[in-house]
Amino acid sequence: MAKNTVKVDISFESLLQAISSLEIAEKHQLWELLEAELFPDNEDSPEDIAEIQAARADYKSGDYTTFD
């Protein structure tokens, strides 16, 4: 995280409401940020990254099967 940060006192409920109002692309950015913060030592290989990106692209295009 950047050295010049500001801490804001915001309730968790307000944070959840703010997140739910984001566009899908913004939610993906948040997801990636949280993933990097939660798993800093989890370095993916280029093959893993390509596979994840392909899976996300398939999901975004509706090319997936549910278990229902």
Domain spans of the chain?
Answer: 32-68
Q: Give just the sign of the alpha carbon dihedral 32, 42, 38, 54.
A: positive
CA distance 12 to 18: 10
What pTM value is reported for the model?
0.49
Residue 2: per-residue pLDDT: 59
Between these two residues, 68 and 37, which has the higher pLDDT value? 37
Closest CA to 32 of 20, 44, 46, 14: 44
**Mind listing the pLDDT tens digit for each residue in 10-55?**
999 999 999 999 999 999 999 988 988 888 776 777 888 889 899 9
The contacts of residue 50 (CB under 8 Å, 6+ apart) are: none
